[in-house]
Structures are given as C-alpha cells and as structure tokens.
Structure 1
Amino acid sequence: MLKFILRRILVMIPQLILLSILVFLLAKMMPGDALTGRIAGNANIDPETVAKLREELGLNDPWHVQYWNWIQNLSQGDWGISYIHQVEVTKLLGNRLLNTVNLGIFILVLTYIIAIPLGIVAGRWTNSWADKVIVAYNYLSYATPLFIFALFMLFIFGYVLGWFPTGGSVDVRLEKGTLDYYINKFYHLILPAFSAALLSTTTTIQYLRSEIIDTKVRDFVKTARAKGTPERKVYTRHILRNSFLPIAAFLGYEITGVISGSIFIESIFSYPGIGQLFVQSIAQRDYPVVTALVMLTGFATLIGTLLSDIILSAVDPRIRID
C-alpha cells in the first residue's frame, strides 16, 4: 500500500506541473496582470512609474522566467493580490475556504444519510412499491436542475415560511467563538445543504441499487444461502459488503467537491464560500483569484483520485496493491 501511495504521488507531480503551466499561460493571455491590481485605485499614476513597477515586478521578463517566479511565490504562500478586494489572495481564500468545507461536509453527510438507506431498500425489495417510489424520486431528482430546485427551496423555506436565513454564513451581530455563534453558523448551513443533498443522492442510490440487484444472483450468495446462512447475514456479510465498493470508490471524488465548493448553491444562497468567490472573480476579471482557485481545485481533484484508489483497495479484500 505504501509503495502504491508513493507511486501515485510521483505520478501527480508531472500532472501538477502541467496544470500549473496551462493555468499560467491562460492567465497571461487574459487582459490585465499583477500590476493591474496594484494601480487599480490610483488613476493618476504616471507612465514612468508604471514602467518602473513593471520592471520591478518582472513583467517584462520572458514567460518562462515569469512562470518560475510565479511557482516560487506559490510555494512560499504568495498567491498575489486580488484586483478587486485589494488584499492578499491567501487571506481572501482563507476566510472562505472554511465555509466551503463546512458546507461540503454537511452536504456529503446528508447525501449518504439519505441515499444509502434508500439504495438498500430499493435493491433488496426490487419491484416493490417502495422500490418504485424510490426510483421515481431518483428520476425526478436527476431531471431537476440544481439552480431551479435551490431557488424553489430558498423561496419557500426562506421567504414564504421564513424558517431559515436567506443568505450569509452567520449573523454578523453575534460574537465569534460563542456557542450562539456556532449554532447560528450551523443554522445557516441547513437550507443550502439540504437543497444540494436532496438532488445529489441520484448516483449513490442508483449504483447501490444496481449493485445489490446484481450481487443477489451471484454464485457466492447462492452458496451462502444453500449452507443455511440467515438472510440477514447474507445481506450484511456478502451482498452489502460487495455492493458498497462503487460507493467507496466515489468517496474520494466526493471529497473533491467538499474542497472545490458548490458554485450554484453558494451563489443562490449568497453563501460566502470559494464557489461564490470563483463566479464573482470571473465576472470581475480578478485573475489572481481565478488562477489560485483553479490550481486549488485541480490539486483537490488529484487528491480525490488518490483517496478513491486508497479507499477502494482498503475496502475490497480481493484487491492487492504492491
């Protein structure tokens, strides 16, 4: 297992290098540069000062020299300055990343709490009325656009009924660190998390239902039943254990979504996370923030792929990775 992890990490290195080159070149092709953010609030700056600043920042250097300097700055935690917010990108992301992680974890937990029991019921009692209801719900959730459903949830439970707040991550009047502060933060998570979770159960339910139906007719299950194994143990030890393999494999990719954030959910609920920040930065052409978020999302995707392979090899005893 250790050799496998080390080998995968070595494979990730050239992938990260290639990603960084693509992100850097795309950023260079866009209008604006590192100097734009520094002089955005000073319209009276003279051309001689601008030329001097460009030389000091190395913007006149060849692209490969600028790329190397950019990589060195990234490795030291210097991701540039936001054009719009006029603060360091690392500070800007740090304030929002925790919000995104909290929301992503809550969505992930709710998704599995809803999807796993429904998938087990649908797979075990195939063609029953419960299975038909679950399949209908699955088709409906698959066909419903997230942004429309989120707007509906916001309108009904936020504006009409007034049960939940309609924006933000916490009441700004509360003192940070108090019990009321954390309760209020959790309260702000409920509506956006449920809105996303109710539609993100589709893949888990479908995979689990299909795997249970397929595993029920396999030879090792028939053999267990022929030996007189109780039906409850047949399901828990044989059917469910093998049926959970695809779910375990996708868990790493789900973790990627925890880090990268939900653009639609954060935008609709005005939730201050990195998903909402990404949309705003693209609209406002805040390229230092955009490049930082693309790099962060790409790195999270690679980590999620690695975690999926590790989880799958740990869950499935038939897989041996040397």
Structure 2
Amino acid sequence: MLKFIVRRLLIMIPQLLLLSIIIFLLAKAMPGDALTGQMVANPNLDPETMEELREKLGLNDPWHEQYIRWIGNLLQGDFGISYVHNVKISDLLGNRMANTFLLGLLTLIFAYLIAIPLGIIAGRYPDSWMDKLIVGYNFVSYAIPLFVFALLMLFLFGYTLNWFPTGGSVDVQVERGTWDWYLSKLHHLILPSISAALLSTVGTIQYLRSEIIDTKLKDFVKTAKAKGTPERKVYTRHIFRNSLLPVAAFLGYDIVFILGGSIFIEQIFNYPGLGQLFVSSISQRDFSVVNILVMLFGFLSILGTLLSDIILSIVDPRIRID
C-alpha cells in the first residue's frame, strides 16, 4: 500500500506540471492580461501608467519566462496577487475555501443520509411500491437541471416562505465567534446544501440498489440462508457490507467535491465560496486568481482518484494494492 501511494504521488508531479503549462498557455491566449481586470474596474486609469506597471511586473516578457517565474513562486507558496481585489490570492482564498468546505461537507452528509437508506430500501424490496417511488425520485432528480431546482428552492423557501436567508454565508450583524454566529452560519448553509444534496443522490441510490439485488443472488448469501442465519444478519453482515463497495469507490470523488464546491449553487444562493470566486474572476479577467483555482481543482481531481483506490482497498480486504 505504501509503495502504491508513493508511486501515485510521484506520478502526480508530471501530471500537475503538464496541467500548469496548459492552464498558463490558455490564460495567455485569452484577451487581456493580469491588469486588464483592474482597467475594467477603474476605466479612468492612465494607459501609460498601466503600461509601466506591465513592464515592471514582467507581463511583457516572453511567455516561457513568465511561466518559469509563476511556477517558481507557486512552488514557494506564493500564489501571487489579485490585481482586481488588490490583495494576496492566499488571503483571498482563505475564508472562501472554508465556506466551500462547510457547504460541501454538509451537502455530502445530507446526500448520504438520503441516498443510503433509500438505496437499501429499493434493493431489499425490488418492484415494490416503495422501490417504484424511489426509482421515480431518481429519474426526476436526474432529469432536473441543478440551477433550475436551486432557483425553485430559493424562490419557495427563501423568498416565499422566508424560512432561510437568500444570500451570504452569515449574518453581518452577528459578532464573530459567538453562539449566534455559528447558528447563523448553519442557517445560511442548510438551504443550498439540501438543494445540492437532493440532486446528488442519483448515483449512490442506483449503485446501492443494483448491488443489493445482485448480491442477494450470490452463492455465499444462499449458503448463509441455508445455515439458518436470520435474514436481518444476512443483510447486515453479508449483503449490505458487500454492496457498499461501489459507494466506497466513489467516496474519494465525493470528498473532492467538498473543496471543489458547486459553481451553480454558490452563484444562485450568492454564497461566497471558491465557485463564486471562480466565476467572478473570469468575468473580471482576474487571470492570476483563475490560474490558481484551476490548478487547485485539477490537483483535487487527481487526488480524488488516489483516495478512491485507498478507501476501496480498506473497505474490501480482498483488494490489495501493491
């Protein structure tokens, strides 16, 4: 296992290097540069002053020199500066990363609390009225676009019933660190996380249902029943445990979603996370922030495959990764 992890981590180095080159070249191919967003935000800036800044920052240098300088700073932990917000990118990402982590974590919890019981019921009682309702829910949730469903949830529970806030991550009038501040934080998280969770249960429900139905027909289950093992123990010790393998296989990608976040959810609910920052940085041409965010999402995607393999080998002792 240790050799496998080390080997995969070493493979990640050229993958991330290639990703950084592609990202940097795509950013250079887009119209404008790192200062373009600042010019759009402040149209009264003197063009001569901006040209002097470009020369000072090395934005007029050949692309390979700019790339070497950028990747060198990145390896030293220097993410650069957002010229639109006039702050360090590391400071800009701090609170937003925490917000996205909380949103993704709560979404993941809600998704599994909904999907696992429904998948077990649908698999244990196939073709029953409960199974038909769950399969129907699966089809509907798969067909509805996330942004449409999120808008409906926001309109119904945010504006019409006024049960939840319609934007932000916390009430600005509450003092930070108090009990009311944490309750306000949770209150702002519930509606967007439930909206995302209700439409992200499709894969887990379907995989779990299919695996339970297939596992019930296997020989070791028939042998356990022939020995007189109670049906409840057959499901908990044999069927359910083996049926969790596909769910565990995708757990690594789900964990990546915690930090990757949902761009649609954060935009619709005006939630200040990484997804919202990514969209606003593109529209404002803040390429230095866009480059770092794409690198972060790419790193998390590569890391997700590694986590999935490790988790799967832990859940299923029959699998050994050498």
TM-score range, shorter chain: over 0.9
Identify which range, 249-258 or 35-44, moves more after superposition.
35-44
Total equivalences in the alignment: 321
What corresponds to 1:229 in structure 2?
229
What corresponds to 1:250 in structure 2?
250
- C-alpha distance in structure 2 between counterparts of 1:55 and 1:144, whole Å: 50
- Could you say if the C-alpha distance between residues 284 and 44 of structure 1 is closer, same or farther in structure 2, counting changes exceeding 3 Å? closer
2:88 is equivalent to residue 88 of structure 1 = yes
- C-alpha distance in structure 2 between counterparts of 1:254 and 1:265, whole Å: 16
What corresponds to 2:32 in structure 1?
32
Unaligned 5+ residue runs, structure 1? Answer: none
Identify which range, 114-123 or 72-81, moves more after superposition.
72-81
The CA deviation at 1:212 is: 0.4
For residue 272 of structure 1, give the secondary structure of its aligned residue in structure 2: coil
What corresponds to 1:303 in structure 2?
303
2:143 is equivalent to residue 127 of structure 1 = no
2:68 maps to a residue whose letter is: W
- Is the Cα contact below 8 Å between 2:33 and 2:285 reproduced in 1? no
The CA deviation at 1:37 is: 5.8
1:207 maps to a residue whose letter is: Y
- Is the Cα contact below 8 Å between 1:207 and 1:246 reproduced in 2? yes
The CA deviation at 1:198 is: 0.8
- Is the Cα contact below 8 Å between 1:23 and 1:291 reproduced in 2? yes
The CA deviation at 1:81 is: 2.2
> Can you list the C-alpha shifts for 1:236-264, whole angstroms capped at 9, x where unaligned?
11111111001001010011111111111
**Match runs of 1:173-184 below 5 Å:** 173-184=173-184
> Can you list the C-alpha shifts for 1:128-182, whole angstroms capped at 9, x where unaligned?
1111111111111111111111111111111111111111100001111111001
For residue 172 of structure 1, give the secondary structure of its aligned residue in structure 2: coil
What corresponds to 2:112 in structure 1?
112
| TM-score normalised by length of structure 2 | 0.95
1:306 maps to a residue whose letter is: L
- C-alpha distance in structure 2 between counterparts of 1:38 and 1:159, whole Å: 35
The CA deviation at 1:221 is: 1.1
- Is the Cα contact below 8 Å between 1:141 and 1:198 reproduced in 2? yes
2:294 is equivalent to residue 294 of structure 1 = yes
The CA deviation at 1:304 is: 1.1
The CA deviation at 1:188 is: 0.5
| TM-score normalised by length of structure 1 | 0.95
**Match runs of 1:127-146 below 5 Å:** 127-146=127-146
- C-alpha distance in structure 2 between counterparts of 1:67 and 1:137, whole Å: 49
1:68 maps to a residue whose letter is: I
2:193 maps to a residue whose letter is: A
- Could you say if the C-alpha distance between residues 301 and 248 of structure 1 is closer, same or farther in structure 2, counting changes exceeding 3 Å? same
The CA deviation at 1:111 is: 0.1
The CA deviation at 1:42 is: 8.1
